[in-house]
Amino acid sequence: MSVYQIAVLPGDGIGPEVTREAERAILAAADEFSFEVKLEHWPIGGTALDQFDTPFPDATRDACLAADAVFLGAIGGPKWDHETGSRRCEAALLSLRKALGGYANLRPVIVPESLVESSPLRAERVAGTDLLIVRELTGGIYFGTPRSSTEEKASNAMVYSRGEIERIVRIAFDLARKRRGRLTSVDKANVLEVSQLWRSVVTEIHNAEFSDIELEHLYIDNAAIQLILRPSQFDVIVTGNLFGDILSDLAGTLPGSLGILPSASIGGKVGLFEPVHGSAPDIVGKGYANPAGALLSAVMLLQMLGEMEASARIQHGVVKALEDGILTYDLGGTASTLEFSNAVLEHAFTISTTTV
Ligand code: NAD
Ligand code: IPM
Ligand code: MN
Q: How far is the CA of 178 from the centre of ligand 1 (A)?
A: 31
pTM: 0.97
What is the reported pLDDT for 48?
A: 98
pLDDT value, residue 112: 93
- HEC sequence for 32-73: HHCCEEEEEECCCCHHHHHHHCCCCCHHHHHHHHHCCEEEEE
pLDDT at 356: 46
| Cβ pair 347, 320 in contact under 8 A | yes
Task: Express each pLDDT in 41-83 by its tens digit.
Answer: 999 999 999 999 999 999 999 999 999 999 999 999 999 999 9
CA–CA separation, 295 and 338 (whole Å): 12
pLDDT of residue 118: 87
Give the pLDDT score at 354: 57
Ranges under pLDDT 50 in the chain: 355-356
DSSP-assigned letter for residue 328 = B
* pLDDT tens-digit readout, 101-144: 999 999 999 999 999 988 999 999 999 999 999 999 999 999 99
Q: What is the pLDDT of residue 250?
A: 97
φ, ψ dihedrals at 39, nearest 5°: -100, 115
Q: Which residues line ligand 1 (CB under 6 A)?
A: 14, 18, 74-77, 90, 93, 257-259, 274, 277-283, 289-290, 293, 330
242 Cα–ligand 2 center, Å: 9
